[in-house]
Amino acid sequence: MRVAPAEGFGFCLQTNVESALSLYRELAAWLFGQRLGVGPRPDPDTLPQDSVTHPGRYEREGLIIDVSAGDDAALRATLEPTDDIAQTEDWPPMVNLPLQPVARDDSFLLKLPIADADLLAVFFKPDQPGAEPSYVHYGGRAHRRVNC
């Protein structure tokens, strides 16, 4: 869903496949750019990353996400499926994938080798905003931090 409150306009694309993200971005660019003359806020070239509070292990049924900080303090993610889908679908390894910071606090873009577009990963702690995150929301699901 994307809205432009000042223009009194919004739209929502509902789907059950992550591969529709490219369609969503194209449609949003056309609707907001061509029809309304507005676009998403620009991201600066470099943004600070929090290499202290974000690293950790985040899990949900079927997937483990390990977030770590490299020597350059850049955040990276390793994804490990815990069910058989990775083997039956012949997925490539998903190790040390860069988390690219965006202009929204605690948010990063993550590109998987099995996806057609970058997806947003948002770190949050619902009961204490600004504290060490207890979840990462990625791929339409929340992953709970297991090593708090």
Convert the pLDDT of each residue in 94-142 to its tens digit.
899 999 888 777 889 898 888 777 888 989 887 776 678 899 998 888 8
Q: Which helix (H) or strand (E) holds 97?
A: strand 94-101
CB atoms under 10 Å from CB of 119, counted, come to 15
pLDDT at residue 77 above 90?
A: yes
- pTM over 0.75? The answer is no
Quote the CA–CA distance of 119 and 121 in Å, as a whole number. 7
Dihedrals phi, psi of 41, to nearest 5 degrees: -65, 140
Q: Are 137 and 124 in contact (CB under 8 A)?
A: yes
Which of 140, 32, 46, 37 is closest to 102 using CA atoms? 46
Q: For residues 44-60, give the mean pLDDT.
A: 73
Quote the CA–CA distance of 113 and 131 in Å, as a whole number. 31
Weakest-pLDDT range from 14-18, 38-42, 61-65, 100-104 = 38-42
Write the pLDDT tens digit of every residue in 20-49.
Answer: 767 777 788 888 888 788 765 554 444 455
Q: 4 or 55: which carries more pLDDT confidence?
A: 55
